[in-house]
Structure formats: structure tokens, C-alpha cells
Amino acid sequence: MAFAAFSAGTTGTEAAPRRKSPIALLLLLPGILYLVLFFLAPLVSLLLTSFQAPSGFGDVGQYSYAFRWENYVEVITAYWPHIMRSFGYALIATVLALVFSYPLAYFIGVKARAWPLLQSLMLVLVIAPFFISFLLRTLAWKQLLSDESFVITSLKALSLIAPDAYFTGTPVAVIFGLTYNFIPFMTLPLYTTLERLDLRYLEAGSDLYARPFDVFRKITIPLSMPGIVAGTLLTFIPAAGDYINASRDFLGGPDTQMIGNVIEANFLVLQNYPAAAALSIILMSVILVIVSIYVKRSGTEELL
Amino acid sequence: MKFSLGKWLLPLYTLLALIFLMVPIVYTFVFSFNDSQKSNITWRGFTFDKWLNVCQVQNGAVCEAFGNSILIGVVATVAATTLGTMIAIALVRYRFRFRSQTSLLLFLPMATPEVVLGAGLAAQFLSVGVPKDMVTIILAHTMFCISFVVVTVKARVAGLDPALEEAGRDLYGSATQVFARITFPLLLPGILAAALLSFALSFDDFIITNFNSGPVTTFPKYIYVSAARGIPAEANVIASAVFIFALVIVITAQVSRAARAKRLAKQG
């Protein structure tokens, strides 16, 4: 439901002239202190943990503070495929979600403007997947697309797929799951910008003899850029760090493990905290770099 | 011909897309009526039993997990909504130093993958020596909900007409009276929306919870742990009930907003 964050941030309304007052400090301090304690400090301890070295008699889960930068070399060599896979899957899922969501958001935000009730009904349907457990809806797809399922058996009967083809456990299944689960994050910010789209610009374009495709490419797309940026970030970030879809008990298999799966396994199962921390720092850094370049290049800094 | 095709293509696509989005929801709902034994994968006939006896399976493990999720969600929502609303008011209404740093600190938790937030908190609890239980889950959930509360409430504060509060002061209302009788009631819809969002985020969170829950089981964690050996239909019952409940809230909010807009339009 993160859409609210980004969609609300785009309006940028300035209220009454701002005053300076000690009340401001009183209002800010508790929340900011909380975030420093439970958001910033954990990032610092993650960074410190990522350089830890084994201690004691080599017991599992025993580490002490050090500057063991080799941890990073080790996790990158060991988990290179997982790192690449995460960003690859997330990128494909983001593109698919954008292609799926744009026409949907366009219809709800532009074509359905004349019918507000229909518009809000369709919006409720778009966010409806949020109301059912994330894990259960992923498992529902697993069962709907399992080898013995109606969908797969009928596709085989119609010879549309090979008789020995299978779906769950493949990269296709994981990307499908990531796409499905994050579609609402893409559709909602797109809807918010398209809903505000001034149709007179489009009319002006066609009055000047632009073909419909050119109007779309040169006017509609640039005007909906804030929604595209917000939607792609809201899809890409959680998709790159997700480990539910790729998990073996859900849509994934041994060859689809992503960086999130490795972090979980190292932290919670193997108790190799430094490796998990180093991988988390890598994931976070790559995402921050991508986000800042992307936001700068698309010229939508005011979004943040 | 070409024209009419273009005219129908988009509505048809929208219809199919919305149906596609509903597929796993309908599946989960239908299988909550399955007369299943241990695992709930193949259809064994229709029954109301699972709805009527939700808490009887596995000595009530599903219900215990559900209860934990509700408790965590309520406490985290109250904490995050209070802290976030205060920040939102300060951001819109006051000037202060380190403004951009504050905005960055509020934005970053939303741009950080959940697995990093979860692992970071777990690493911190580990190094400080705090055992993981209900409290650590609540601390974690409050953290990631604050930013979402701030953006939701901020929009509402920004849209508030300062003239209304000025009128209150002109009529000799004290600062407390103006806040309690004018500002707060006007902000209430935004605060409620933020609280609902927080609760939804907390209730469905698995990734951060998994890192910080220790022996405590929440509803999503219960599903994750049971996924390997089969999930009882009772889990589908709870998920479906929550779905219907959330849908009713959202539709009521939409309808009452539409009705209010109509009333305001009539008054001109």
C-alpha cells in the first residue's frame, strides 16, 4: 500500500507561511528519535556486522567486531548469480507490471472520468489483492499453475505447451509471481497522475495534426512521468528484495533463489550474520544508486 | 470497423485485467469452503465447517497467530500514527533547521527493501542482546509504518485552510481549544486513513517479522511455516474474513465520500 506515500507526495502543496517555534521540536523529536534508534542505528549495526570476523573456537554464530572486508569479496564470489538474478527478475517484473498497468490505469484515470462510481469501484478492485494475505495469494497461484492443475493440463491437451513442460519452480513462475504481487504498486501511482492529466494538451496535439501514436508518445507519456517513476520504483525495490515468490515452498525452485533468500538463509538458518549483513549492504547500496540516478535522469526530484 | 475495435479494446482489456487480479482472491475464498483433511490442495466438496470451527484445528494455532497479528497491528498502528501525525504537522506548519535531512530520514525507510530493514533490526537486537519476542515485532512494525503515516497525514495538513483556525483564535479560542475543536477534527479523516494503512501494512508483513519474531507466530508467519506441509482451510477462512472486512471498510469510505461530495455540491 506504499502508493499513498508517493502519490500524495507529488502534489507539493505549500500551506500558510511557516513559523519558527519550539513546538516544532516537540512535535518532531519523538518520531525522529524513534527512526534514528530503530532505522538508522540498525543500518549502522548492519554495516558493523558485515565486517565482523569469527571469534572464539569457531562456534556457529559467534562473531566479534573487526574490519574483515574479505566478507564482501566472499559473498560476492559465492552469491554472484543470486545478486544478478535478483536485479534481473526485478527489472523484468517491473517492465511487465508497467506494460500491464498503463492501459488499465489509463482507462480508470482518463476514460472512466465521466463515471466516478465505476472509477472508484475499479480502484477498489485494483487494491483488493492487498486485502488478502500476500503469502496466500502467492500460494493460490502456485496451486492454480501446478503440474496437475486445470490450467496446465488444458494447455498441454491443446498442445500449446510441451507435454513435459512445468511451471512452478522456474524463473518464469518467480517473475510471474513478482509481477502479479506488485501490480497494484504500479497501477496506483500511474492512476494518480493520469487522473490529473489535462486532456486539452492531447487535443492540442491532434489539432496540430499529430498522429494518435505521436500524441501518446510526446504528450501523454511525458506528462505521466511522475507516475511512471513512482510506480517503477515502488515495484522494483520490493521485487529486488523479495524472497517469498522465489522461495522453494512458493513459486521458486533451487535455481531461482534470489538475494533475499540468501540473506534469510544466512541470517536465520546458518547464523552467518556477517555474510547476511554484507549482502544486505550490497542490496541497499545498489538500490540507492539506481534510485538516485533514475530520479535525477527522469527529472522528477520533487517527487521525493 | 477499425474505430469500433479501438473503442472496445481498452474497456475489454480493463475488464480482463481486473478479472486476472481477482483470480487468487477467488481461489482463496472458494477453498475456505473445501472439506479438506490436512492439506487444502484438492477440492473435496463444499462445507461450512471451517468457517464455523475456525479455532479448532491444531489446537487453535491459526487463531493464536491471528490474535498475535491483531495485537501487534493495533499497538504498532497507535504508536506509528501518533508519532507520524506529530511529524506531519511539524513539517507543514513550522520552519526548522535540518528540514531536508528530516525529509530524507522519512523517505529512506520506504526506499529500503524490507529484507534489509528486517536484517538490520535483527542485527541490532542481537548486538544489544535483546531477546526477540512480541515487543521486537511491535518496535519493527512501528518503525516502517511511521513514514507512511507522515506522507498520508501531510497531504491532509497541507490541504487545511488556515483561515478556519484563525477564525477560532479570533473568537478567543485558546491554543488547546483551537486544536481540539478545529484542527484535530479536520485532520481526522487523514489520520484514520493513515491508521488503516499502518494496520494493513503491519498485519500483512512477513519479511521484517520473520527476522524479528523469535518464537512468536503471526498470521503470515504461520502460513510461511505451514507452506511446506500444507495449509489448513482455516487459514483461508481467516484471510477471506479479513478480506471481506477490509472491502466493507473501503467501500463504506468511498460511498460516504461520494455522498459528502454530492451534498457539498448541492450547497454550492
| pTM given for the model | 0.89
**Mean pLDDT (whole number) for A3-17:** 43
Q: Which of A178, A174, A189, A176 is nearest to A127 (CA)?
A: A189
By C-alpha distance, the chain A residue nearest B234 is A136
| Beta carbons of A38 and B139 less than 8 Å apart | yes
What is the C-alpha separation between B151 and A303, in angstroms, rounded? 12
Is residue B223 pLDDT above 60, yes or no? yes
> What pLDDT, on a 0 to 100 scale, did the predictor assign at position A297?
78
C-alpha torsion angle, residues B232, B237, B239, B245 (rounded to 10)? -170
Q: What cell was used for A189?
A: 501511482
**Phi, psi of B161, rounded to the nearest 5 degrees:** -80, 115
Residue B268 pLDDT class (50, 70, 90 cuts): low
B130 lies within 8 A of chain A by CB: no
Q: Which of A18, A131, A260 sits opposite B93 (nearest CB)?
A: A18
- Average pLDDT value for chain B: 89
Which tens digit of pLDDT belongs to each residue from B7-36?
889 999 999 999 999 999 999 999 999 888
Which tens digit of pLDDT belongs to each residue from A159-191?
888 777 788 889 999 999 999 999 999 999 999
Residue A4 pLDDT class (50, 70, 90 cuts): very low
Residue A50 pLDDT class (50, 70, 90 cuts): very high
Start-end of H helices in B159-232: 162-170, 175-178, 184-204, 207-212, 219-226
| Beta carbons of B120 and A43 less than 8 Å apart | yes
B209 lies within 8 A of chain A by CB: no
Q: What cell was used for A205?
A: 496535439
**Mean pLDDT (whole number) for B128-143:** 94
Q: What are all long-range contacts of B185-193, with beta carbons under 8 Å and residues at least 24 apart?
A: B186/B156, B186/B160, B187/B85, B187/B89, B187/B153, B187/B156, B187/B157, B187/B160, B189/B156, B190/B152, B190/B153, B190/B155, B190/B156, B190/B157, B191/B81, B191/B85, B191/B153, B191/B156, B193/A4, B193/B152
Residue type, A190: L
Complete domains list, chain A, with CATH: 87-273 (1.10.3720.10)
Instruction: Label residue A269 exposed, middle or buried (CB < 10 Å: 0-12, 13-18, 19+).
Output: exposed
Q: Tell me which DSSP letter residue B205 carries.
A: -
Contacts of A268 in chain B (CB under 8 A): 210-211
**Mean pLDDT (whole number) for A13-42:** 83
Is residue A247 pLDDT above 70, yes or no? yes
**Mean pLDDT (whole number) for A68-73:** 90
B167 lies within 8 A of chain A by CB: no
CA distance B69 to chain A (A): 12
**Mean pLDDT (whole number) for A271-291:** 94
> What pLDDT, on a 0 to 100 scale, did the predictor assign at position A170?
92
Is residue B228 pLDDT above 70, yes or no? yes
CATH 1.10.3720.10 corresponds to the domain B60-229? yes
Residue recorded with cell 494503512: B197
CB atoms within 10 A of CB B183: 18
Cβ–Cβ < 8 Å for B190, B30: no
> What pLDDT, on a 0 to 100 scale, did the predictor assign at position B4?
57
Q: Where are the domains of chain B?
A: 60-229, 232-268
Contacts of A13 in chain B (CB under 8 A): 155, 158-159
Contacts of B247 in chain A (CB under 8 A): 124, 128, 131
Give CA separation, A201 vs A105, A106, A221, B261, in Å.
19, 15, 12, 27
> What pLDDT, on a 0 to 100 scale, did the predictor assign at position B46?
87
What is the C-alpha separation between B216 and B222, in angstroms, rounded? 10
Q: Which of B23, B125, B51, B97 is nearest to A137 (CA)?
A: B23
Distance of CA A227 to the CA centre of its chain: 14
Contacts of A233 in chain B (CB under 8 A): 111
> What pLDDT, on a 0 to 100 scale, did the predictor assign at position B2?
45
Is residue B52 pLDDT above 90, yes or no? no
Is residue A1 pLDDT above 50, yes or no? no
Is residue A220 pLDDT above 80, yes or no? yes
Q: Which residues pair with B34 in a beta bridge?
A: B46
Cβ–Cβ < 8 Å for A273, A65: no
Contacts of A99 in chain B (CB under 8 A): none
Residue B199 pLDDT class (50, 70, 90 cuts): very high
Which tens digit of pLDDT belongs to each residue from A53-69?
888 666 677 888 888 88
**Mean pLDDT (whole number) for B66-75:** 96
Is residue A12 pLDDT above 70, yes or no? no
Residue B37 pLDDT class (50, 70, 90 cuts): confident
> What pLDDT, on a 0 to 100 scale, did the predictor assign at position B227?
86
Is residue A241 pLDDT above 60, yes or no? yes
Which tens digit of pLDDT belongs to each residue from B142-159?
999 999 999 999 988 888
| Interface predicted TM-score (ipTM) | 0.90
**Mean pLDDT (whole number) for A248-268:** 93
Which tens digit of pLDDT belongs to each residue from A95-154?
999 999 999 999 999 999 988 889 989 999 999 998 999 999 999 999 998 888 888 888
